[in-house]
Amino acid sequence: MQIKPHLKNLSPYPPGKTINEIKKELGISGKVYKLNSNENPLGPSPKVIETLKNCLLEVHHYPEASYQELKEILAKKWNILPEQIILGNGSNEIIEFLFKSIINPDDEIIISKPSFLMYE
């Protein structure tokens, strides 16, 4: 089995700096709020925490791979068809799905700045 040639030279994703790295680099001792990595400085909503607590008894099961139940709930809420919904693990994965479905290895694309670090 061979890796596709256009995948051999991919660079790894450079993650953003941690709060501790930023504080050390800038000599900050106070509170730092990191906003550049889609992290909520306020933490999760109490409703989310309660929902997660209620789900703990089910964590030993794999999730439904197609997310059909969630798609149906969202479709009903937004008055669209479930087939019109694409779910992913964050916006990077959704963009990756889009790229893989319509862009060929030799295609030239334009990406605006600022952009996601993953695509720079």
Distance CA 63, CA 39 (A): 24
Residue 1 structure tokens: 């089995």
Give the CA distances from residue 120 to residues 71, 84, 87, 102, 103, in Å, rounded to whole numbers and listed in that order: 31, 28, 23, 19, 16
Report the range of poorest mean pLDDT among 1-5, 15-19, 75-79.
1-5
Query: pTM for this structure?
Result: 0.45
What are the residues whose beta carbons fall under 8 Å from the beta carbon of 108, sequence distance 6 or more? none
Q: Is the pLDDT of residue 118 over 60?
A: yes
Cβ count near 113 (within 10 Å): 5
Q: What is the pLDDT of residue 69?
A: 93
Q: Is the pLDDT of residue 74 over 70?
A: yes
Q: Domain locations in the chain?
A: 14-61, 64-120
